[in-house]
A and B are shown apart, each in its own frame.
Chain A
Amino acid sequence: MSLSWCVCLSSHVSLSLPHYSCLSLGVSVSPLMSLPLSLYTHVSLSLPLFSCFSLGVSVSPLMSLSLSLSSHVYLSVCLSLLSCLSLGVSVSPLMSLSLSPTADIISTVEFNHTGELLATGDKGGRVVIFQREPEGKTEPFSQGEYNVYSTFQSHEPEFDYLKSLEIEEKINKIRWLPQQNAAHFLLSTNDKTIKLWKVSERDKRPEGYNLKDEEGRIKDISTVTSLQVPVLMPMDLMVEVSPRRVFANAHTYHVNSISVNSDCETYLSADDLRINLWHLGITDRSFNIVDIKPANMEDLTEVITAAEFHPFHCNLFVYSSSKGTLRLCDMREQALCDKHSKLFEEPEDPSARSFFSEIISSVSDVKFSHSGRYLLTRDYLTAKVWDLNMENKPLETYQVHDYLRSKLCSLYENDCIFDKFECAWNGSDSVIMTGAYNNFFRMFDRNTKRDVTLEASRESSKPRAVLKPRRVCAAGSKRRKDDISVDSLDFSKKILHTAWHPAENIIAIAATNNLYIFQDKLNSEMH
C-alpha cells in the first residue's frame, strides 16, 4: 500500500443534513510521494445537543430549540435537530445544560466489525454512532460517507457517596460486539461502570385503538361495537438505542480497557490494578483474572495500562504495564492469571537512561494484529510491533516523534508526557497508525518501511482535498520549505484516539472535539 492518503472534508455540521455540499478540491501531488487522496471529514458538533438525543421520549421541536438557545452554535443546533427529527429520532427533555466546555472532546473512536458503523464517545458521556451511507446514491461523492446514525447519552456524572469520589461521565472505551441479529450491540465504559447498549431499527408501528383514536381522544363507548386488534403500519425508519445491561461495582480503580472475547459470551475489563472477566449476560458477578495490587500500596511500582483479548484464541489475553512490559496470559492454565505465560520486555539501554525513562516507556495502548500473530504497542515516543513468538525484543520499532526527546523536560512540566496515545492496525496488518501533537498523526508501512506524517485540521484538510504530508524538523537541523519547527508545535492539539476500518483504507481520527474521517483515494476510485 502506498501511504498516500487523500482526504476530503465535508460539512462541518456532522449531524448529517440530508444533502451535503461537498467540494471537490482536486488532487495535488506532493513532492515526496504521490498522494491521490480524498478525505472527507465529519467535524462533530461542539454542542450540548447530543445529550438531548437520548431516545425514547419525544418533545416538541420548539422546546428543544428554546433549550438550545443557551448554546453558542444556535443555527447548527436547529438544523441538526430538524434533520434528526426527520430521521425519526425523538428528543428527550433530559438535557443537561451545565456541560463543561470540554464535554465534547472525543475520548474514544471505534469501528464495528464490518466497518459499516463507527462509534465515538466523548467526555460528556455521549456516544455518537455514524453509519456509512450505502454506495451509489444520488450524488457521486456521497458513497461511503459516514453520517450520524444515532446519538445517545451513555453515562451520566455520578458521585460515590461512600468514597466521596466524583465519577466522571467520560467514555473511556467503546467496543462493538460481533453482530448477532439485525440489531447492533456495543459496550461503553466510563471509569467505573460498563454498559451494554442495543442499537436497533424500527420501521413499523402499531395503529388502531378500541377506546380512543390515534390522537388519544377517548371515544364514546357506545360507538364501540366490535373489538379491533392493532395493525402494524410502515413508518419512517427510527433508530432506537436501549440499555441492555449495566455492569457496575466491580472496579475500585479506573477502567482503562474493555475487550470482547472471541467466544462472544465473555469480555474483560481492566482497571489500574485488576482485570475482571464478565459474562455478557450476567451483571451481578464477574471473575477477577489478574490482580497486581500489592498487599501494601506503598509497594506499588506498576499499573495496568491496557488489556486486550486475542482475536481468535479465546484463552489468550495480553495486558500492558506502566513499566513498558507486556504480559500474555493463558486462561486455560489457571483461574487466576497472576502468573503470565509470556513476558515481552525490551532491555533498557543504559546509555539512554534518564529521569524520564520510566515515564516514556509506559505502554499507553496494546493491540493484537488481525492475524493474531503480532502485538502493536505505543509508548510515549515510539510504536513497537512484537512477534508473539519473540519475547526479548520488539520485531519493529517506529519513532513517532523522536524530536521530542530533547523537550521531555518541558513536556513533563505541562503534563503532556503522561498523554496516552492509542495505536491501530490496518485491515491487512501491513500499516500501523498512531497519533501525535499539533493534530499530526503518523503512519508506518511495515513492508516498505516508509512513513508519513499527516495533519488533521480544518484549515489544512478541505473537503476532498489531498492531505499533504508534513515534516517536523528537529531543533538544529536544516529547515526546508513547509517544515515545521519543533518549537512551533501546538501541544494542546493532540491526536490520542484513532481507528482503522477493519477491511478498507478508511480511518477515523479524533482531534479534540473534531472527528475526521479520511479515505484512501485509490480505494474510493475503485468503486
Chain B
Amino acid sequence: MSEHSGPHHTSKMAGADGDDSLYPIAVLIDELRNEDVQLRLNSIKKLSTIALALGVERTRTELLPFLTDTIYDEDEVLLALAEQLGNFTMLVGGPEYVHCLLPPLESLATVEETVVRDKAVESLRKISQEHSPVDLEVHFEPLVKRLASGDWFTSRTSACGLFSVCYPRVSSTVKAEIRQHFRTLCSDDTPMVRRAAASKLGEFAKVLELDYVKSDIISLFTALASDEQDSVRLLAVEACVSIATLLPQEDLETLVMPTLRQAAEDKSWRVRYMVADKFSELQKAVGPEITKNDLVPAFQNLLKDCEAEVRAAAANKVKEFCENLPEDSREQIIMTHILPCVKELVSDTNQHVKSALASVIMGLSTILGKDNTVEHLLPLFLAQLKDECPEVRLNIISNLDCVNEVIGIRQLSQSLLPAIVELAEDAKWRVRLAIIEYMPLLAGQLGVEFFDEKLNTLCMAWLIDHVYAIREAATCNLMKLVEKFGAEWAQNTIVPKVLGMANDPNYLHRMTTLFCINALSEACGQDITTKQMLPVVLKMSNDQVANVRFNVAKSLQKIGPVLDSNALQSEVKPVLEKLATDTDMDVKYFAQEAISGKLVFPPPAAETSLYVRFYRSGKPDDHAVFLSSSTVLSLA
C-alpha cells in the first residue's frame, strides 16, 4: 500500500476506496458461477444490483451475453433469471435498448423445463410492451418467427404465447405472417405444440379482427377440436369459451355449436370432463337461448355420463348452472330437466360423485324457494345425511346455512343429530376433525338450547380423544363456542368440566386442561380466569410429570395479560420462581422464559415434534421419560 501513499496517487487512492464498494458486487458476480446452487440463485436474484454496478453499457455488452449462454444451470436458477430479465429494461438503458434482453430470454424460452419456459415467455410478453412499434417489428417479431420455426418443440411451444402480444402492434403484412405462423403451429407434428397452440387459441382470437376470427380461427378451432389426441381436443373446449364470447350471437349456431356439441359427446371421457368443468363459462358465453335449447340436454347427458369423473365434474356445476339459467324459465327447467338427474345422483354408485353433489345441492334451495325445497330437496338432503360415505354427510352439514335461510334448520334437526353424532365418533380422525370445524357454525344455526342438550357432550368428549390433532381442534372449538355464547354460558357449562380434567390420572388429559385455559382465558375474561382457572393452574405446578409443569409455565405466561397485576405479583410470580429452580431443564427454561416475558409460543406442531415422551411400562406417569430431539433422531 505504501506506493499509494504519495500525493500524486490521490486519484488512485480514490479508486482504491471505490474498491471497497466494489467488493460486495465482485462477490456477487463470482458467485454467479459458484458450485453451490443456493449461492448462484442468490446472485441471480440480485442481478439488478450487479447490473447497476456495471452500468448500462457493460450490462448490455458483457453481462447479457454471459447470461445468454448460461442455460445449463439448474431450473430454479433459470427460473429466477427469466423472472429478473422481465424487469430489466431500465438496467440496460431504457426502452431504447430493451431488445438487448431478447437473446437471453430467447435461449431460456427453449429449455425443456416448462416452468422456466413459461416464465421466459411471461417476461418476453412483459418487455414486448416496452418495445417501440419499430423495434417490435425489427427485433421482437423476428424472434417470435425464429421460435415458431425452431427445430425443437420447446421453442415452438414458447412462440405460441407470444403471437397475441405483438399482433396488435405490427403492420398488416406482418400481421398476415403472424397468422400464417400460428396456423402452421396449430397443425404441428408434435402434440405438445398443438396443445400449446390450442391453449393460446382463445387469447389469440381476442386480438384478431373479427373477420379473421371467422375465417381463420374458426377453422383452426374446428381442426384442433377434432385432433387425434385427446389432450389437444380437451384444450379446444377452453378456447371455445373465448371464441364464443367474441362472436355475434347469430354466428354462434353455425360456427361454434357444432364443435361444442361434438365435444360434449366426445368418445374420450377426458374431453367430456373438460366440457362439464367449463360448463358455467360456456353457458355464459353462448347466451340464454342456446343454453335453453342445447346446453340443458347436454348438461343432462353429462350428469348421466357413464364415467364417474364426468358426472362428478357436472355435479359440481349443478348450482352454478341453475343460477345462470334465464330467469323466465329457470324453475321449469330445473324441475323438469335437472332435478330428475340430481335425484339419481344422490344414489350414485361413486362416492366422489355423491360428495361433489352434496357440496352444492344445498344451494338449490335458495333458487327454488321454500315450497319446492320442502317438497323436493329436503328428502334428498335427508338421504345424503344418511349416506354411507362420511364426506357426503360432511359436505351437507358444511352448507347448512343455505337451507337455514330458506326453511329453517328445525326441519332437518331430527336427521341432523344422528348424522353429526356418527361423524363425531367416526373411526377416521380426519373425519372427526372435519366435523369439529363445523361445530361453531352448527351451534350458531341450532341455538344454545339445542346445543346444550345434544352437542355439548360431544364437544367435551373430543377433549379426551386419543389423537392430539382432535384434542387441539376441540380446544379451539371451545374458544369459538365461548365467543358465540358468552362468558356466562362458559362458566356454567364448560369451565367446570375443563377444570375437572386437571385431576385426571392421564397426564395428556391434564395438559389438555392447560391448553383449554390458554385458549379460553381471553374469551372468559379476567373474573373467571383469576377466580376459577388460575388456582387450578397453580396447583398443577406440583405435577409429577415435567411436561405438565413446563406447560404450567407456558400457560401462566399466556394468561398473564388477562390476570390482574395483584394476582400476578402475589400468586403467579412465586410459582414461576419455584419452577425456575426445577430439576427438569425444560421446566426451568420455560419458567425463566415466562418470567422474562420473552417466550413466544411455538406452534403446536413444532412442540409435538420436539418433545417426545414415551413409556417404558404400562404406567404412563411414573415412567414418562424425556427425550431430547437429538435422541429422537438417533432412535429413528
Contact = CB atoms under 8 A, between A and B. Distances in A.
Contacts of B58: 227, 229
B404 interface: no
A228 B29 contact: yes
Interface string B16-30: 101100110111011
B456 interface: no
Interface stretch (A200-208, A445-453, A469-477, A482-490): A200-208
B269 A182 contact: no
B270 A332 contact: yes
Nearest to B155: A181
B331 interface: no
Interface size classification for chain B: 35 or more
Nearest to A223: B19
Contact of B66 (A178, A181, A232, A335): A232
Nearest to B270: A332
A182 B25 contact: no
Interface string A229-250: 1111000000010000000000
B26 A227 contact: yes
B229 A262 contact: yes
A227 B54 CA distance: 7
Nearest to A204: B69
A34 interface: no
B616 interface: no
Contacts of B110: 181
B141 interface: no
A315 B268 contact: yes
A183 B153 CA distance: 12
B23 A263 contact: no
Contacts of A139: none
Contacts of B18: 225
A468 B25 CA distance: 70
Contacts, number: 119
A180 B230 CA distance: 20
A212 B30 contact: yes
A202 B195 CA distance: 30
A185 interface: yes
A327 to B, nearest CB: 19
Given A228-B29, A315-B268, A221 B112 contact: no
A335 B112 contact: no
Main secondary structure of the interface of B (DSSP, over half): helix
Interface string B48-83: 000001100010001100100110100000000000
Interface residues of A, number: 42
Nearest to A335: B309
Contact of B191 (A212, A222, A264, A331): A264
Given A264-B192, A334-B269, A335-B308, A314 B229 contact: yes
B548 interface: no
A338 interface: no
Nearest to A207: B33
B228 interface: yes
Contact of B153 (A180, A182, A198, A231): A180
Contact of A334 (B16, B62, B306): B306
Contacts of B361: none
A335 B191 contact: no
Contact of A229 (B62, B111, B155): B62
A228 B25 CA distance: 10
A314 B231 contact: yes
A232 B66 CA distance: 7
B368 to A, nearest CB: 32
Contact of A181 (B154, B229, B269, B306): B154
Nearest to B72: A202
B19 A225 contact: yes
A94 interface: no
B601 to A, nearest CB: 32
Interface string B167-195: 00000000000000000000000111001
B621 interface: no
B119 to A, nearest CB: 15
A218 to B, nearest CB: 11
Contacts of A225: 15-16, 18-19, 22
B114 interface: yes
A180 B72 CA distance: 15
Contacts of A210: 22, 26-27, 29-30
Given A180-B154, A264-B191, A315 B16 contact: no
Nearest to A181: B152
B472 to A, nearest CB: 27
A229 B15 contact: no
Given A313-B228, A335-B309, A281 B66 contact: no
A200 B71 CA distance: 12
A224 interface: yes
B229 A263 contact: yes
B428 interface: no
A212 to B, nearest CB: 7
Contact of B231 (A226, A232, A263): A263
A229 B268 CA distance: 54
Given A182-B152, A335-B269, A198 B112 contact: yes
Contacts of B192: 180, 264-265
Interface string B214-237: 000000000000001111000000
B284 to A, nearest CB: 28
A206 B34 CA distance: 11
A346 interface: no
Interface string A126-156: 0000000000000000000000000000000
Contacts of B230: 263, 314-315, 331-332
A466 B63 CA distance: 58
A230 B306 contact: no
B23 A221 contact: yes
B1 interface: yes
Contacts of B33: 206, 209, 230
A202 B69 CA distance: 11
Contacts of A228: 29
Given A182-B152, A264-B192, A335-B309, A211 B30 contact: yes
A333 interface: yes
A181 B108 CA distance: 12
A85 B18 CA distance: 44
B425 interface: no
A240 B71 CA distance: 13
Nearest to B310: A335
B66 A332 contact: no
A80 to B, nearest CB: 26
Interface in B247-269: 266-269
A229 B231 contact: no
A221 B16 CA distance: 9
B29 to A, nearest CB: 6
Given A227-B22, A335-B309, A314 B191 contact: yes
Contacts of A231: 62, 66
Contacts of A206: 32-33, 66, 70
Contacts of A178: 190
A224 B25 contact: no
Interface in B1-48: 1, 15-16, 18-19, 22-23, 25-27, 29-30, 32-33
Contacts of A179: 152
A333 B269 contact: yes
23 contacts: A181-B152, A181-B153, A185-B112, A204-B69, A210-B22, A210-B30, A212-B30, A225-B15, A225-B18, A225-B19, A229-B29, A229-B62, A230-B33, A240-B72, A265-B191, A265-B192, A265-B231, A312-B228, A314-B229, A331-B230, A333-B306, A334-B307, A335-B307
Interface of A: 178-183, 185, 198, 200, 202, 204, 206, 209-212, 221-222, 224-232, 240, 262-265, 281, 312-315, 331-335
User: Which 5 pairs between the two chains have the least Cβ-Cβ distance?
Assistant: A332-B268, A210-B26, A229-B62, A181-B152, A232-B69
Given A210-B30, A225-B18, 11 more contacts: A178-B190, A210-B27, A221-B23, A227-B26, A227-B58, A229-B62, A231-B66, A263-B230, A281-B114, A314-B229, A332-B268
